Chains A and B, each alone.
Chain A
Amino acid sequence: MADPAIAIVGAGPAGIRAAEALSRHGLSAILVDEAPKGGGQIYRQPPDSFQGPASSRYGFEARKASALHLTIKRLATAIDYRPSTLAWNVCNGRLDTLCAGRGESVVFDILVIATGAMDRMLPLPGWTLPGVYALGGAQIALKYQGCAIGQNTVFLGTGPLLYLVAYQYAKAGAKIEAVLDVNPAHAKRRALFALASSPRTLAKGIYYRASLGTHGIAVEEGVTPMGIAGTDEVRDVHYRRGSVDKSVRCDAVGLGFGLKSETQDGESTVSGVYLAGDGAGIGGADAAELWGERVGLSIAARCGRRHDASRIAKIDRRLARLARFRAGLERAFPLPLLGSTLPDDTILCRCESIRVGQVKDAIRAFDVVEMNRMKAISRVGMGRCQGRMCGHAAAELLAAETRQDLAAVGRLRGQPPIKPLPMPWPGTP
């Protein structure tokens, strides 16, 4: 039996380790990633013209970053690695890709989706003002372009990334006006036990948090964000702490509420399609590497290669430990329920400029109980991001308006192209 054609989307920690495990077992794969260089979100490589020591860019993670970059370099000759290549559609065993304006269809028997995570955004009054960036965008500006998002920055939201990005900004010498976490300190204390399952990672988190204090940066926990104010650009952030209304002046806001998988389902139910890494469930970079390797080993076994039982067992144990850590993070940084409390004039869907009040009207006018119906009637999620940005808040709003569980309102169906493509389209053979 001929070896199956294997395609991997995403050359981050998960995709690279999957490709490597396959290659170790004599299996080749086509690895596509829209980025010009491998490494993924966390170990993103800067352009060649922009070199500096990895230690300054990746901090504690420099060693892992270098190891991964080395792996992709080595693999590049052994497998079919296609950087700068966007996968924009998958249907019936075929992946449609676009590279430098040229279209190509990759036929596969097995597909690994390792497309990573994106910032989870929650709409707030003023979140569409110029000067508001996703935390990830703020981090990319620093890592990839070497610049900060503003002169006086506020970081607002929750999650480990909030502290990490603030730390990275502080370290780079940027001025931070405040770090505002919507989750209270006691949530983190309660989660300590679970977090201690990954002591090294916990120590890093504590270090980031503490060094913000050393840099004299105000960290406020347990805040309720009221909105971002300004006319043409960000002027200040309003929030409430306890019963006190406060505001802080700034010219840029890094906003983020944790991460969200780029794929909507945690698990593939389609035979021959595997999910790995943060794209399948947020686990962090170390988990992504392990998960990728695990998927590579599963595929190798399926193709009749030697079954590496002890390595598989070891990975599964480490993944289980990381899952406990992850559960701790979720307790420390739960996603706030904001979608249901937003004022009616807040823009919910930024692609289509649809306000909270309009969505509520649509829900009532047509007795909407499900997300895709809500999209059909109100156009929320019909724009260029297909709901990646607003989907969560929209679901919260619908659940609250109809008194249903969040899970019961369903999820938005995506359609190709997953990212907008200019006309004409590349001819697909």
Chain B
Amino acid sequence: MTGHAVTERLRVDVAIVGGGIAGCSAALHLRRRGLSVCLMEKGALGSQASGVNFGGVRQQGRHFAELPLARRSREVWGRLPELIGTDCEFVPSGHLKLARNEEDLAALERYAADAAEFGLELEMMGRKRVHDEHRWLGENVIGGSLAADDGHANPRLLTPAFGRAARAVGADLREFTPVVETERDGARFRVRCATGLEVSATSLVNTAGAWGGEIAAAFDEPVPIETIAPNMLVTEPLPSFITRAVGVCGGDVYLRQVARGNVVFGGGDGWADSSLERSRPSSETSARAIERALGLVPALQSALVIRSWSGIEGGMPDDIPVIGFSSTTPNLIHAFGFSGHGFQLGPVIGIIIDELVGTGASTSPLGAFDIGRFHGAADLRHVSAANPEQEGAKR
């Protein structure tokens, strides 16, 4: 039905649509299992959300349903050099989540108590200690909680490095190859691309990020996915002084300083249109984020902002992704809609997808992420897992 003549046919075990961090890490692990893999990416690997995000590698503050995955992913972050040949500038600086009023501080305390059950140790700090240990913080900070082994990394490297590692073991990663049609073909899947490539596969993996809903819809399971566009800024290089990755309760500002000295920060939304594949930062949001960053770190006064940007991310109404088997189609696996916090999870998502394809089940609890939750499919486990303090799209 599409007007594209088929110029190349491939037959593989697994076809993957989308070469962000989810798709590239899946390609690596599936191929290492010995399966033949073809990944199709409409642009360059990691050119969408996975390559333009803030770079926060954070477990603290996550929805409790995500915490077991985040814990497991953190372990992978620690061994990236062995896995993909580079640490992607991952710095386990600690993530400091700050309270600017008493209610926030109380919320941090409650979260810390619950997170401990998932093995995430958070250290509470009162006003004196948080200022003693972080002299660069502004007066409006009254306390905080520290996740010592959280940190930050360079998003521009992570996905290309996973892609490179996947290719090195023989995965076929096709860039600039937009998938235009996915359909069932007997017991297999047929995937057609605008380039004339047609792939026949036993399993189909949907890691299409903000566009993941289109593929789900093609298999009769539409989801209420929205486009979100976090707004980011970066300063010129400054002497190193911001020793931690920093966030706040409410998530309206977050920042980190990279080794070169630039301070990367964000907060609020820019503008994006996933159908146009375009995103732009918003001047108003930038001005507000700057004001909040100055409140948190007054020494940034007069620093030059050299660039601002945004990206295109898929957001789900309950702010957690869709991960798991399709509810309509056997051997179709979804992992998309990471709702603004899938960078840290990325490395483990590939492992989970590999487990699902290879063994039919994951060792990580995925119930809350089931696509059926949007179709009255009665799997409402995610509701009980919901956590009033979690910040959804805020990193």
Contacts and interface: CB of A to CB of B under 8 A. Distances in A.
A91 B308 CA distance: 13
**For chain A, which range describes its interface: under 10, 10 to 19, 20 to 34, or 35 or more residues?**
20 to 34
B44 A370 contact: yes
A384 B290 contact: no
B302 A423 contact: yes
Given A366-B164, A384-B306, A425 B290 contact: yes
Given A377-B157, A384-B236, A424 B290 contact: yes
Contact of A426 (B287, B304, B309): B287
B301 interface: yes
B207 interface: no
B156 A423 contact: no
A420 B286 contact: no
A422 B284 contact: no
Contact of A423 (B44, B284, B290): B290
Nearest to A425: B287
Interface string A197-228: 00000000000000000000000000000000
Contacts of B302: 422-423
A366 B304 contact: no
Given A373-B44, A377-B156, A377-B160, A421 B305 contact: yes
Interface in B251-303: 260, 271, 280-281, 283-284, 286-287, 290-291, 293-294, 300-303
B301 to A, nearest CB: 6
B291 A424 contact: yes
B305 A420 contact: yes
B294 A424 contact: yes
A340 B324 CA distance: 49
A77 interface: no
**Chain A interface mostly:** loop
B307 interface: yes
Contacts of A367: 164
A425 B305 contact: yes
A99 B213 CA distance: 44
Contact of B287 (A92, A365, A424): A424
A170 to B, nearest CB: 38
Contacts of B260: 352, 379
Interface in A301-315: none
B235 interface: yes
Contact of A386 (B235, B293, B301, B307): B307
Nearest to B86: A365
A284 interface: no
Specify which of B283, B294, B309 lies most central, judged by the most chain A CB atoms within 10 Å of its CB.
B283
Contact of B304 (A105, A372, A422): A422
B55 interface: no
B51 interface: yes
Interface string B134-156: 00000000000000000000001
Contacts of A96: 283
A357 interface: no
Interface in A343-388: 352, 365-367, 370, 372-373, 376-377, 379, 382-384, 386
B22 to A, nearest CB: 18
Given A370-B44, A424-B287, A424-B294, 6 more contacts: A366-B161, A372-B47, A379-B260, A386-B306, A420-B304, A420-B306
Interface of B: 44, 47, 51, 156-157, 160-161, 164, 235-236, 260, 271, 280-281, 283-284, 286-287, 290-291, 293-294, 300-309
12 contacts: A92-B271, A103-B287, A365-B164, A376-B156, A379-B260, A415-B281, A420-B305, A422-B302, A424-B291, A424-B294, A426-B287, A428-B283
